[in-house]
Amino acid sequence: MTARPLIFYEIKSQKTEHSRDGIRQLSFACEDHPDMFCFLWIDPNQKLKHVQLLFGESVLEWKEGQGINCSQTNRIQENEIKIGVHKGSRSLHSNDDPELLNESLKILLRCEFPEGWNSLIHKIFHS
């Protein structure tokens, strides 16, 4: 049995309209999973510069000239209490675990992004 696709739709925001140094951000959210997002940074020629996918507390990322990496956030999972980590705060911490990267890439295979971006995103991560 094949897992259902994860359908993403574009979220319109001020970041979509405004650009910094010609770079614009697009935001996508997943229909069935409120903790899954995709952010694209594109240049004025619609060329991808940076892609960031959030799957819960894991982040799969591609940056032009740097390639693919995987990170995890500092968000508290389960009622864990640590000094310096506050619920709601989010910073990324690199995770070189090949298993996490492979699992994230498998999730990405199920993702369907809005037309015009889907094949581009998949090509970057699966080429």
Domain boundaries, the chain: 6-74+89-125
Token reading at 86: 């506050």
Instruction: Give, for 40, the enclosing helix (H) or strand (E).
Output: strand 36-42
User: Is 18's pLDDT higher than 70?
Assistant: no
User: Is 100's pLDDT higher than 90?
Assistant: no
User: Is 66's pLDDT higher than 60?
Assistant: yes
Calculate mean pLDDT across residues 62-77.
83
pTM: 0.81
**What proportion of the chain, given as a percentage, has pLDDT over 70?**
78
DSSP string, 96-116: --HHHHHHHHHHHHHEEPPTT
Least confident of 30-44, 64-78, 94-108: 64-78
**Please, what is the angle between helix 118-125 and helix 98-110, to 10°?**
160
Start-to-end Cα distance in the chain: 26
